[in-house]
Copies of this chain bind each other. A is one copy, B any other.
Amino acid sequence: MLEKLKEEVLAANLELAKRGLVNHTWGNVSGIDREKELIIIKPSGIPYSQLTIESLSVLDMDGNQIEGNLKPSSDAPTHLVIYKAFKEIGGIVHTHSPWATSWAQACKGIPPLGAAHAEYFYGNIPCTRKLNEREIKGQCEAETGKVIVETLSGINPLHMPAVLVSNHGPFTWGKTPMDAVNIADVLEAVAKIAYRTYALTPAIRPIDSNLLEKNFAKMHEDFKPSI
């Protein structure tokens, strides 16, 4: 069942490790079959070098495990909440990649400062509000999903395919699991360059909205700029 999607999810997880975005057993990639309403996700605590098709976990939209002998990633409830809210997406990535995580720990979004940012992210990459005590002590991972959805409220998730979870790290998404890996990789580069830009010019302002639109439209044929 879901053999093609399993291969995609496996390949995306391996690519995440290959690009140096994850260490140890950290991070995870998932993919969704919208028709069958099932997601496939990396198992918990398994090094990337030992991942196989068989080791992947298949879950229904309530989080019940349908296939796989290993425990799914503890972040699975976050993925499920995001998939339910963002119908347009087919893959999600979570990492602790160091540059993006630095912004997340600093509780700051990343403003658009250049063309590289503007081609992938239409505006400020937002950082979530902090979870409150009830949310932390409750279903923390599902609450993380909810605060991500709250943060993206009113935004097309394919126009802002990343979020920074405050005191934690980034989540990214895309039409496919591999698209979400690509976004995670671009986000890390954007976060690095933005950090250094602020160090050089602390009072730097976000780029002109016309330049943002022009660059974003170049890479997103469906996007209609206001001009």
B200 touches A102 (CB 8 A): yes
- A137 contacts across to B, CB distance below 8 A: 210, 214, 227
A197 touches B102 (CB 8 A): yes
B136 touches A214 (CB 8 A): yes
Which of A1-9, A54-62, A93-101, A145-153 sits within the interface? A93-101
Give A83-119 interface residues, CB cut-off 8 Å to B. Answer: 96, 98-99, 101-108, 113-116
Interface core residue of A105, A185, A199, A207 (most chain B CB under 10 Å): A105
- A198 contacts across to B, CB distance below 8 A: 200
Main secondary structure of the interface of A (DSSP, over half): helix
A105 touches B167 (CB 8 A): no
Nearest neighbor of A134 in chain B, beta-carbon distance: B210
Q: What string of 1s and 0s marks CB contacts (under 8 Å) between A186-200 and chain B?
A: 100100111111111
Interface assignment of A31: CB less than 8 Å from any CB of chain B: no
Interface assignment of A133: CB less than 8 Å from any CB of chain B: yes
Minimal beta-carbon separation of A69 from chain B (angstroms): 20
Interface core residue of A133, A196, A198, A204 (most chain B CB under 10 Å): A196
Nearest neighbor of A218 in chain B, beta-carbon distance: B74
Whole-angstrom CA separation of A92 from B201 in the bound complex:
28
- The 6 A-B pairs at the shortest CB distance, nearest first, are namely A102-B196, A106-B200, A106-B201, A105-B197, A105-B114, A105-B113
